[in-house]
């Protein structure tokens, strides 16, 4: 059995209790055994994020940018290792796991670059005579601690999409990765600990969905960032209507095969769109709509190409 994988609470790696197994969807092999945060661990993480905000919101840009650069560089140095983690815990082909790992490298680099450019905006107010020659300065400030809930299918880059912007603006963040794929987020936690950022700025808690739902109501979080199913996302949105919430919800991607389409190419692309990333993509092909003129030949091609759960709308009836 693999050694126990610990989780991160404000710079401290903890074991918690009642560990759970992370199994590969490919062969059901146990990839890791991960400790479960206790209610006390969760409280410590949230409290640390709240108390760290007074410091993190004042961090100089060069400190934040340097930390993001470091994480990006280290991800690049460990690219093959990161891809292996993604592939083993998520069942994704190594080819696509490497693409995801490379995208995470870019995500942290882009956050660093935007951090340096993020200087506010100058607005002219002399458009009306009554305003004289006044100028306005628009500045942005971090809202406060962030609760980030990530899905299983992109266990590194979709965590990076939440973590990198939060660090860039100086907002502490508590990350709840999917319990099926927590290892990528924990790896990003390791890289965070190599930086000079305050320890309370990041915690990674592999807790269950119901516990995350309770956290969403915690007034110490000023912002929720959620990627996942529509029902859960809207439930979280309704948990506290006054809280800033960003939702990236389930897709319903369709393909239209027009009357002048190249049928062989269409079938190939539909098959690719349904099965790439081992089908673990929110934009995988889920519906195929075929122009009435091509319904007979295309239906045969689509039956070969369609994903298992696709709905083929081929309009079998004539007007």
Instruction: Say which range, 26-30, 127-131, 159-163, 207-211, has the weakest mean pLDDT.
Output: 127-131
How many beta carbons lie within 10 A of that of residue 138, not counting itself?
A: 8
What is the percentage of the chain residues whose pLDDT exceeds 90?
A: 59
pLDDT at residue 236 is higher than 90: no
CB count within 10 Å of CB 286 equals 19
Q: How far apart are the first and last CA of the chain?
A: 62
pLDDT at residue number 126: 87
C-alpha span between 313 and 122 (Å, rounded): 52
Q: Which residues of 70-93 are buried (b: 16+ CB within 10 A; e: fewer)?
A: bbbebbbebbeebbebbbbbbbbb
Please check whether residue 166 is in contact with residue 68, taking contact to mean a CB–CB distance below 8 angstroms. no
The predicted pLDDT at position 274 comes to: 86
Average pLDDT over residues 48-61: 96
- Joined together, the tokens standing for residue 303 give 């039956």
What are the beta bridge partners of residue 13?
Answer: 8
Q: Which residue has the higher pLDDT, 87 or 305?
A: 87
More confident residue, 293 or 197: 197
Tens of pLDDT, residues 134-147: 888 888 899 999 99
pLDDT confidence bin for 315, thresholds 50/70/90: very low
Of 12-21, 192-201, 252-261, least confident by mean pLDDT is 252-261
Q: What is the pLDDT of residue 131?
A: 80
Q: What is the mean pLDDT of residues 100-126?
A: 92
State the pLDDT at residue 306. Answer: 46
Is residue 248 part of the annotated active site? The answer reads yes
The radius of gyration computed from the CA coordinates of the chain, to the nearest angstrom, equals 23
Residue 253 or residue 307, greater confidence: 253
* 239 closest CA partner among 222, 220, 217: 217
pTM for the whole structure: 0.84
Catalytic one among 193, 248, 313, 316? 248
On average, the pLDDT of the chain sits at 88
Please report, for the chain, the start and end positions of each structural domain, with discontinuous segments joined by +. 4-249, 254-313
pLDDT reported for residue 246 = 93
Tens digits of per-residue pLDDT, 65-82?
A: 999 999 999 999 999 999
Residue 295 has a pLDDT of: 55
CA angle 219, 224, 225 (to 5 degrees): 170
Place 303 in a pLDDT band, splitting at 50, 70 and 90: very low
User: 288 or 303, which is more confident?
Assistant: 288
Q: What is the pLDDT of residue 1?
A: 54
pLDDT at 305: 45
Options 196, 282, 300, 313, the catalytic residue:
282
- How is residue 74 written in tokens? 């280290």
Q: Are 75 and 108 in contact (CB under 8 A)?
A: yes
Least confident of 69-78, 129-138, 179-188, 217-226: 129-138
pLDDT at 296 over 60: no
For residues 222, 224, 225, 230, the Cα torsion angle rounded to the nearest 10 degrees is: -150
Q: Provide the pLDDT for residue 194.
A: 97
pLDDT at 250 (0 to 100): 78
How high is the pLDDT of residue 38?
Answer: 95
- Residue 282: the pLDDT is 78
Burial bucket for residue 284 (CB in 10 Å: 0-12, 13-18, 19+): buried
The domain made up of 4-249 has a fold known as Aldehyde Dehydrogenase; Chain A, domain 1 (3.40.605)
Distance CA 25, CA 205 (A): 22
The DSSP letter of residue 262 is: -
């Amino acid at each position: 059995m693999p050694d126990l994988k610990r989780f991160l609470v404000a710079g401290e790696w903890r074991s918690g209790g009642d560990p759970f197994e992370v199994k590969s969807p490919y062969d059901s092999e146990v990839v890791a055994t991960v400790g479960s945060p206790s209610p006390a661990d969760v409280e410590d993480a949230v409290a640390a994020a709240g108390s760290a905000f007074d410091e993190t919101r004042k961090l100089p840009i060069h400190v934040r940018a340097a930390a993001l650069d470091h994480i990006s560089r280290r991800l690049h140095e460990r690219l093959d290792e990161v891809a292996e983690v993604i592939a083993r815990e998520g069942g994704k082909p190594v080819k696509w796991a490497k693409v995801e790992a490379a995208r995470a490298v870019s995500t942290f680099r882009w956050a660093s670059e935007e951090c340096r450019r993020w200087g506010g905006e100058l607005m002219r107010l002399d458009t009306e005579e009554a305003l004289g020659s006044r100028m306005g300065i628009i500045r942005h400030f971090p809202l406060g601690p962030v609760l980030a809930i990530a899905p299983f299918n992109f266990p590194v880059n979709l965590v990076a999409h939440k973590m990198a912007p939060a660090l860039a603006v100086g907002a502490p963040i508590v990350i709840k990765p999917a319990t099926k794929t927590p290892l990528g987020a924990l790896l990003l936690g390791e890289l965070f600990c190599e930086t000079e950022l305050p320890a309370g700025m990041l915690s990674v808690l592999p807790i269950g969905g119901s516990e995350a739902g309770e956290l969403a109501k915690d007034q110490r979080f000023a912002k929720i960032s959620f990627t996942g199913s529509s029902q859960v996302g809207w439930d979280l949105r309704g948990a506290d209507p006054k809280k800033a919430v960003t939702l990236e919800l389930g897709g319903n991607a369709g393909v239209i095969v027009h009357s002048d389409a190249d049928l062989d190419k269409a079938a190939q692309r539909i098959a690719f769109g349904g099965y790439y990333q081992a089908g673990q993509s929110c934009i995988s092909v889920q519906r195929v709509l075929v122009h009435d003129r091509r319904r007979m030949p295309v239906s045969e091609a689509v039956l070969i190409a369609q994903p298992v759960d696709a709905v083929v709308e081929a309009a079998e009836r004539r007007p």
